[in-house]
A and B are shown apart, each in its own frame.
Chain A
Amino acid sequence: MEGNRLPCRKRRNGVARGRRVVGLTKEVIMSAVILALLVLAWEAGARSGLIPRFLLASPSEAMLYMMSHPRVVMSNFATTAWEVLLGLAAGASAGVLLGILIFYSAPIRKMMYPLLVASQVVPKVAVAPFLLLWFGYGLVPKVVITALMSFFPLVLNTLLGLTSVEPDMVDLGRSLHAPALRMLSKIYLISALPHMFAGLKTASTLSVIGAVVAEFTGSQAGLGYLILMGLSYGETPMMAAALVLLFVLGVVLFVAVDVTERTAIQWYYLERENR
């Protein structure tokens, strides 16, 4: 795409749709307001004594905890964020590669499919202790669990994207004797991008779950570790702070994927809007 801005048609109210990558719409503002109201209700509940402090700290206490322990908060946030990023990157790349392999080779498809399903049927939480046993308490088991969580949506969606390329398009390539690799890079993969991004969105939310599950099983750092620590010391503000930060991490990750998608496959949305 060479990063060029696409031209676009003016829409009703003179709003040029499609050019906007992310923007404040009424709907976005509404959901922010609802979120704010929920937080306020939580705060009010905590202050009025409706929610006992030993069960759940108030949002303001969570904020206070973050401000008074910036170093603890930052380093544990960074640990989890790093696990999530590495795991998601590894899982997503493996997923795309596997999707391509399965697409091109019927034997691999027949061989891999049961294994793939098996890998998804076994609960990842149950696998975590084994990985801990094999790889220790460090970064590796967290990345592996996160990758295991996030690769499956990409396998499925890559495969779906590749198989939904128009048959006539394939014939066009065949009539040109185009080499398979060139066909893959110029037609198949680009056509599959919308599906792959859908998979990546699902994977991005799963990856945070994966990292926290891994941390619960055994760790010495991370937001999941903070929650467990808070639990054992009765430090509810610490728990609330970690929870808020996990929320922030998940949202930032999702929005990052969403923005990348809208920039990378702008053609897809423009095509659909103007159909």
Chain B
Amino acid sequence: MGSTQKAIAYRHVSKAYLPARRGGPVPALEDISFEVSEGEFISVVGPSGCGKTTLLKMTCGLTLPSDGEIRIGGVPVREPVTGIGFIFQTPLLCPWRRIIDNVLLPVEMLGLRKEDYREEALRLLNLVGLDGFESRYPFELSGGMQQRVSLARCLIRDPPIMLMDEPFGSVDALTRDQLDLELLRIHRAKGKTIVFVTHSIMEATLLADRIVVLGPRPGRVRGVIEIGLPRPRGIDVMTTQEFAAYVGCIRNLVGENGQGEGRGLICPVNPPEEEARDRGANRRLGR
């Protein structure tokens, strides 16, 4: 692998919340350590309330760890980082703005000239499959379409890193598959580093190069699974035995069966570790 500088590095990150009333601090995440390479697609799965959202918010500096350190490109995170795009669970569009103006919101917020980014915004709307919707208002779009707008809004600043917090959790299963595939296409086209939080193991397996599995609150890393499925992946990959084996393996890690140390667990049809890593590396270098 080329550089030793990781895109994101978590080092013994813990987060505890101080409750509003009396009582000790409530731990949300404990001793999280892993690294994300440039251009890598990481999925984080775990049960609700295990601190997945907190992990993302800490990554871009919206909240700070109570212990440990997060580095972006080698630089410790101490305040909100500008070069990171964040996709929230809800589309979070301004209902008073046309679609194009919603995409251009970050540009306006940064005090840049809207006109300079108009064409790029139209290109991005095209990329997310919303050609011709630029003058519509959010209420005219379905939930899935609105989430696509928020994807375009995130891409307008061209952030090298994108953090996605269960972005397709509130759309129906069919739309979700479609959006996942589009995200894979965008990932390939733009070469972004993506950390994608979800509670759907299937979705995580479909998307990720590696999956970080967190246990229930307080969230700890139960294991990191390398997904050796070849890319580009289509929806048909989900019907393969290999896919099912990965899903089963991760489910074990998340669930009760993985109570002990998950690290020793070996996925049944996981290709030998070196091979998988090589494949991942080649893919990264090949792009």
Which residues in A have some Cβ–Cβ distance to B below 8 Å?
1, 6-7, 9, 166, 168-169, 171-179, 182-183, 186-187, 190, 265, 267-268, 270-271, 274-275
Contacts and interface: CB of A to CB of B under 8 A. Distances in A.
A176 B110 contact: yes
Interface string B137-154: 111100000000000000
Contacts of B139: 267, 270-271, 274-275
The list of the 9 closest CB pairs from A to B, nearest first, reads A178-B109, A267-B96, A271-B95, A274-B139, A176-B109, A271-B139, A168-B88, A267-B95, A174-B80
B140 A274 contact: yes
Given A173-B109, A175-B86, A176-B110, A187 B94 contact: yes
Interface of B: 57, 60-62, 80-82, 84, 86, 88-90, 92, 94-96, 105-106, 108-111, 136-140
A247 to B, nearest CB: 35
Contacts of B80: 174-175, 177
A6 B137 contact: yes
Contacts of A177: 80, 82, 110
Contacts, number: 67
Contacts of A168: 88-90, 92
A262 to B, nearest CB: 14
B57 A176 contact: no
B138 A176 contact: no
24 contacts: A7-B136, A9-B140, A166-B92, A168-B92, A171-B57, A172-B86, A172-B92, A175-B60, A175-B61, A175-B82, A175-B86, A177-B82, A177-B110, A182-B108, A182-B111, A190-B94, A265-B96, A267-B139, A268-B95, A268-B96, A270-B139, A271-B95, A274-B140, A275-B139
Contacts of B136: 7
Given A168-B88, A171-B86, A190-B96, A270 B137 contact: yes
A186 B109 contact: yes
A85 B82 CA distance: 46
A179 B112 CA distance: 13
Nearest to A174: B80
Nearest to B79: A177
A75 B178 CA distance: 69
Contacts of A267: 95-96, 137, 139
Report which residue of B81, B86, B92, B95 has the largest number of chain A beta carbons within 10 angstroms of its beta carbon. B95
Given A7-B140, A166-B92, A169-B92, A174 B109 contact: no
Nearest to A6: B137
Given A6-B137, A271-B95, 14 more contacts: A171-B62, A172-B88, A175-B60, A175-B80, A176-B82, A177-B110, A182-B111, A187-B94, A267-B139, A268-B95, A270-B95, A271-B138, A274-B140, A275-B139
Contacts of B92: 166, 168-169, 172
A223 B252 CA distance: 80
B110 A178 contact: yes
Nearest to B110: A176
A268 B90 CA distance: 18
B159 to A, nearest CB: 10
A174 B82 CA distance: 9
Contacts of A270: 95, 137, 139
Given A171-B57, A171-B62, A176 B137 contact: no
A177 B61 CA distance: 11
A6 B98 CA distance: 10
A114 to B, nearest CB: 24
Nearest to B84: A175
B63 to A, nearest CB: 9
B266 to A, nearest CB: 39
Contacts of B137: 6-7, 267, 270
Nearest to A272: B139
A51 B201 CA distance: 80
Nearest to B150: A172
Contacts of B111: 179, 182
A196 B119 CA distance: 36
A190 B93 CA distance: 13
B168 to A, nearest CB: 16
Contact of B62 (A175, A179, A183, A275): A175
A148 B139 CA distance: 39
B278 to A, nearest CB: 36
B109 A182 contact: yes
Nearest to B109: A178
A166 B90 CA distance: 10
Contacts of B62: 171, 174-175
B5 to A, nearest CB: 22
A169 to B, nearest CB: 6
Contacts of B106: 176
A195 to B, nearest CB: 14
A1 B86 contact: no
B20 to A, nearest CB: 16
A175 to B, nearest CB: 5
